Amino acid sequence: MTLSIGAPVPDFEIAATGDKTIRLGDYRGRKLVLYFYPKDNTPGCTQEGIAFRDNIDRFSQLNAVIFGISRDSVKVHEGFKAKQQFPFDLLADQDEALCRLFDVIKTKNMYGKQVLGIERSTFVIDENGVLLKEWRKVQVKIHIPEVLAYLESLA
């Protein structure tokens, strides 16, 4: 099953930093910004997380909660979050359930080999759990202003 814009996102439950279990249903009444990224402690993923971190106040003013998601373990996420001082939780999708739901696992070329990896993507879910917007093949440098502009257009 893959999601489409305007459709409800099935409730999910996933392990997160801070010894939490995140459930979609617990965030009714808030917008969710889910950003999928390939790997903790890599340059592009660090830059993207820092850009979300540095704009957290604007996201909060727009009633939006941010979650970063990769296939790294909660333990690895805890180190990454602490090192970069992320004020949001990172979700550990080690079984790729969320990655598959949002269809972000893609074939990539790494060092001449075909590998399956996460395509950098962001999704906005509304206060009622409906998928509103998606960005795929995200370009880190311009992405956060795009997401903020979209959220501001909803206000």
Residue 6 lies in a domain: no
> What is the separation, in whole angstroms, between the first and last Cα of the chain?
30
Residue 108 lies in a domain: yes
Number of domains in the chain: 1
Range of 56's domain?
Answer: 13-23+30-154
Residue 65 lies in a domain: yes
Give catalytic residue positions. Answer: 45
* Alpha-carbon span 110 to 136, nearest angstrom: 19
Residue 131 lies in a domain: yes
Residue 4 lies in a domain: no
**Per-residue pLDDT at 17:** 97
Residue 86 lies in a domain: yes
Q: At what angle do helices 43-54 and 74-84 cross, to 10 degrees?
A: 60
CATH of the domain at 145: 3.40.30.10
Tell me the whole-structure pTM to 2 decimals. Answer: 0.94
Residue 80 lies in a domain: yes
Positions in the chain whose pLDDT score sits under 70: 1-2
**Per-residue pLDDT at 113:** 85
Strands 13-16 and 105-110: unpaired
